[in-house]
Structure 1
Amino acid sequence: MPDLVAIDSGMLGSLLIAVSLLGVLLLLGVLLRALIPPLRRFFIPAALIGGVIGLLLGPHAFGIVPDSLNTTWSGLAGILITIVFAPMLLGENLPKAREAIKEAAPHVFYSYFSSFAVVAVPALLTFLIFTPVFGTNPLFSTIFEVSWPGGHGTAAGMEEAYTALGWAAGSSLGLGSATAGLVFGIVAGMVMINIAVRRGLLLNASGDGGTLSTDILPVTQARVESQGRLNRASLDNLAFHFALIAAAVLIGTGLKFLVDMVITGVPLFPLAMIGGLLVHLVIKRTPAYQLVDKATLNAITGIALDFLVVAAVASLSLPVLLDNWQALLISLVVVAIMSVGIFSFIGPRIFAKDWVENSIVNFGAMTGVVSVGLVLLRAADPNFKTNAFRGFALRAPFASPFVGGGLITALFPVAVANWGNLWVGIGCAVLCVLLVLLAKVTGIWKSPGRRLAEREVQSAVR
């Protein structure tokens, strides 16, 4: 077990104030989204807006927020990401592989191919150019898989892992990269959707993401965030689900203790996710499983993620970004071009029908996490008339726990630290080639001309 440090009431009081101020930043983000329509139009979340306000008030800008508070916010991110990941597989009805493979396989291929590519290219660039020319830390190559598909949450949560590997600046660079990826994903995605509309590739597109003129949903669209079946005389529903997450975190902590004996630098959050799976497997065999409500778990995850993003962005280190601006700028341009290339070249070859809708949701997830992918899909297919949403959802159990912010993502920095960028870059490039060969062998990969011919035959038969 890890060494436990006693926390006195004064420290807990400081933590309460720090978290309360994060809540105020979130409220300011909501208010600015309501007052400034472009923030809604470009789907900038309130947590990111609040984080930017906190950053401007911080010690690297106006200096209103003291260093002590900034340090507390920075430390919160690594804790909250564990809460985000612990319930990911808890209460999840995992689909049978045979039932899901037909629709999910192309989406799973896209997820793994893009993740390995987003590691391979920066790793080789870092080995060949950035480290010898700019003196960039070798672990720099891993921030793009962590921050683009992983998003602000994963980038912030990797602070402990990067620090353990001797590169405390990694999380701040990841957060800067995540912000760039979010903006690029939304803007470039909307541009590509409009191009597809002009070319007649989309028949159901709205082009605006189905945006509302206000963030306040009508009563008919109100969400039910939680459903409790446990008698409150026993325990409150939220407390029950927090207890499940706590058990998952404790199991993950035990797993980390064992893993650290073999290899150091593996963060807690993917191990807590495994802990959640173990809790799921145990409780599913008991009558208590009927008390598990996935919506409640998702609500807890959402709270942790919003506070994580605002804390992480507010405590971002601007000097670190400026010290690494050359490598960061070059890599961002290269990864952006690569993401558009994957969308344009691979999409038509792996999706049998509606390739733009199916590809755009994966493009969004690759550049700015799953929520951006769904925003773009809503713009391309507002009424979900294609199978893109179902296929993307079915891919989640096979991809989300591993790549794009999962277990494999967390292991990339460890791999670079142990084997170096050259071998990691070559290895990931080889994996991309093997994935293409596997897709061709299994029939997932076909030329666009062959896809068109098959669709014409199917239309004639009908």
Structure 2
Amino acid sequence: MMKGSSLSPATVALALLLLGILALIGILVRVRSKTAQNLFLPVSLIAGFIALILGPQVLGRVAGWLGWDPLVEGGIFGSEVLSVWSELPGLLISVVFAALFLGSPIPSPKRAVKLLGPQLSLGVTFAAGQYVIGMLLAVLILVPVFNVTPMFGALIEIGFEGGHGTAAGMAPVMTEMGFEEGGDLALAMATVGILSGVIIGVIAVNWAARRGHSKTLDVKANRDPEIAAGLYRRDLPSGGLQTIRSESLDTLTMHIGIIALAILIGQGMLSALQALEQWLWADIIEIFAYVPLFPLAMLGGVILQLIADKTGLAPLIDRGTMERIQGLALDTLIIAAMATLSIDAIANNLGPFVILAAAGILWNVFVLFALAPRFIQSFWFERGIADFGQSMGVTATGLLLLRMADPKQESPAYESFGYKQLVFEPFFGGGLVTAAAIPFIAQLGPYPLLIVMAVLLVLSLISGFFYFGKRSTFVVEGSA
């Protein structure tokens, strides 16, 4: 399992147990720290920071200065535990994406377009714009001034739109393409994205409340200590339903099996695409040879859900259980990825990194406040803040901000955002476009991707301004 290593099962087990302990410490910090609560920091991110500090990048360096050699290589965890953690993100990201649509009915294309038109235009504007901004900066400033690879331009979308999971999942691809520091930079970009997204989002929610831009906002709900602490003390929600009798098989075991089957289907599709590429066009360009497994695992999950819908087996797949498995994989992934983050990669590329991060933040803020009101005429803030949160971090960030803006679910934002995800996720934020962007740039240069994303951005702007934006009131009324 581990590259070139012979780690014992006991070491692997210890590494997993330590991740659980770090998560518990993160919960304690979130409950006790007002700063963490005000920033709505995810516990996985808190735990990842703690692991980073106690690992070789921080504690190890201090130990080296003090002559404490046993702590230099692996911090308090040891080098073998770090070796296990470094491999986990690439494995767990397929679990996260395979479960993305399992347990959710797949809408027909006609209904999807009717419900999510403005939302999809806004989401594509966020994502395609991140590529356009990043590639333009790479071509005009970063490559000529800082002498970095053009692949730098894709980091905004990978880190912001994709989040920590996608950044970790794309790290092996970037390494294979000669961008060895890309994985660490993408993780750092994801951290900047989620922190700035939550901070700006909280400010935006309070601004919308004061200026009357939200029809559903309850400012008092945003100060609920239960939400701030990240705990449920009342009205406990169900973590999943029993869809199969326990004397036959535990429901959790069955759901893990379904995810495993989705991943295997994804692997089969990826292998078939790679074989087809080698047969037809590999002499010209290779894309699927470097595409990671996780976007195809997501499509494997969609295929299984479609089969379940058609055969009447859909009730056996519980969305809540899938979300619990997905959440476990994502939390573990983030802690492990943050624990193995290289500070050197950020320090060595600080100038271009800061330029990219600042440009990405400014673009997302511009889209939220300048374009969202023109794309979506009814409930624009509630629907816009969800996409803003996702474009700065992960889907969970978008839903967090949406919950703050619409705590009683009085707007159509939840429904339209959910349907938009079904169309959007297979391509951006860790989908096929994200997966193919790095090998595309590495083999064809920055301009083809820049042109394609610029055309897509123009189309999303035109559809948002002149078509979906003018019909958004009708869509809201028809779907409410």
User: TM-score normalised to the size of structure 2?
Assistant: 0.87
Query: Which of 115, 139, 160 is residue 151 of structure 2 equivalent to?
Result: 139
* Matches of 1:254 and 1:417, distance apart in 2: 25
Distance change (3 Å), C-alpha of 1:162 and 1:259: farther
Alignment correspondent of 1:232: 246
Q: Report how many residues are paired.
A: 446
Describe how 1:420-435 pairs up with structure 2 within 5 A.
420-435=445-460
| Aligned mate of 1:11, from 8, 11, 27 | 8
Query: Structure 1 171/283 Cα, relative in aligned 2: closer, same or farther at 3 Å?
Result: same
For the 8 Å contact 1:30–1:46, the answer to whether it is kept is yes
1:209 is matched with which residue: 222, 226, 232? 222
Distance in 2 separating the partners of 1:5 and 1:80? 16
**Quick check: 1:209–1:375 contact (8 Å CA) kept in 2?**
no
Moved more, 90-99 or 244-253: 90-99
Alignment correspondent of 1:315: 340
Does the aligned pair in 2 maintain the 1:361–1:374 contact within 8 Å? yes
Give the SS at the match of 1:28: helix
Match of 1:365 in 2: 390
Residue 185 of structure 1 corresponds to 197
Match of 1:92 among 85, 104, 107: 104
Q: CA–CA distance in 1 between the matches of 2:256 and 2:427?
A: 24
1:298 is displaced (CA, Å) by: 1.3
**8 Å contact from structure 2 (residues 14, 81) kept in 1:** no
Q: Percent identity?
A: 33
Q: Does 1:384 align with 2:381?
A: no
Q: Which residue of 2 aligns with 1:413?
A: 438
> What residue number does 2:259 align with?
245
Q: Distance in 1 between matches of 2:3 and 2:95?
A: 20
Supply the distance in 2 between the matched residues of 1:246 and 1:381 (Cα, whole angstroms).
35
Letter in 1 for 2:252: L
Compared CA separation, residues 287 and 375, structure 1 to 2 (3 A): closer
Residues 306-336 of structure 1, C-alpha deviation per residue, up to 9 Å, x if partnerless?
A: 1001001111110001111100101111111
Contact 2:377 2:469 in 1 (8 A): no
The one-letter code of the counterpart of 1:13 is: A
Preserved CA contact (<8 Å) 1:29 1:46: yes
SS of 1:444's equivalent? helix
Amino acid in the other structure paired with 2:269: L
1:109 is displaced (CA, Å) by 0.8
Distance 1:103 1:25, change over 3 A: same
Aligned to 2:329: 304
Secondary structure, counterpart of 2:214 in structure 1: coil
Q: Secondary structure at the match of 1:260?
A: helix
The CA deviation at 1:33 is 0.7
Deviations 1:328-352 (A, max 9, x none): 1011111111111111221111112
- When residues 285 and 203 of structure 1 are mapped into structure 2, their CA distance, relative to the original with a 3 A threshold, is closer
1:7-406 to 2 correspondences below 5 Å: 11-63=8-60, 64=75, 65-207=77-219, 209=222, 211-213=224-226, 214-220=229-235, 222-261=236-275, 262=277, 263=286, 264-286=289-311, 288-406=313-431
SS of alignment partner, residue 434 of structure 2: helix
**CA contact 1:111–1:403 (8 Å) conserved in 2:** no
Letter in 1 for 2:222: G
Report the more deviating stretch, 424-433 or 108-117: 424-433
Instruction: Describe the SS at the equivalent of 1:316.
Output: coil
The CA deviation at 1:210 is 5.2
Q: Deviations over 1:11-68 (max 9, x none)?
A: 3221111111111111110111111122122110111000000000111110223333
CA contact (8 A) 1:52 1:313 kept: yes
Q: Structure 1 stretch 81-90 or stretch 188-197: which is displaced more? A: 188-197
Spell out, residue by residue over 1:107-146, the C-alpha distance to the aligned partner (whole angstroms, 9 max, x if none): 1111111111101111121122112221212211112111
Q: Distance in 1 between matches of 2:400 and 2:389?
A: 8
Q: Structure 2 vs 1, CA of residues 344 and 440 (structure 1 numbering), >3 Å: closer, same or farther? A: closer
Distance 2:378 2:215 in 1: 13
Q: How much has 1:440 moved relative to structure 2? A: 4.7
| Segment drifting more, 191-200 vs 50-59 | 191-200
- Unaligned stretches of 5+ residues in structure 1: none
2:8 maps to amino acid: M
CA distance in 2, matches of 1:444, 1:312: 39
2:122–2:464 contact (8 Å) kept in structure 1: no
Residue ranges of structure 2 left out of the alignment (5+ in a row)? 61-74, 278-285
Deviations 1:385-434 (A, max 9, x none): 22222221221211122212222221211221222112212321121112
Q: Which of 47-56 and 293-302 deviates more?
A: 293-302
The superposition leaves residues 246-285 of structure 1 with CA deviations (integer Å, 9 ceiling, x where unpaired) of: 1111222222223333232100101111222233344445
Q: Is the 8 A contact 1:357 1:381 kept in 2?
A: yes
User: What is the CA distance between 1:445 and its match in structure 2?
Assistant: 3.3
After superposition, the Cα gap between the structure-2 partners of 1:4 and 1:246, relative to the gap in structure 1 and judged at 3 Å, is: farther
Distance 1:87 1:54, change over 3 A: same
Return the letter of the residue paired with 2:231.
I
Given that residues 299 and 426 in structure 2 are in contact (C-alpha distance below 8 angstroms), is that contact kept between their aligned partners in structure 1? no
* CA RMSD between the two structures: 2.4
Q: Measured at CA, do residues 445 and 215 of structure 1 come closer, stay the same or move farther in structure 2, by a change above 3 Å? A: closer
| 2:72 counterpart residue number | none
Instruction: Compute the TM-score of the two structures, normalised by the length of structure 1.
Output: 0.90
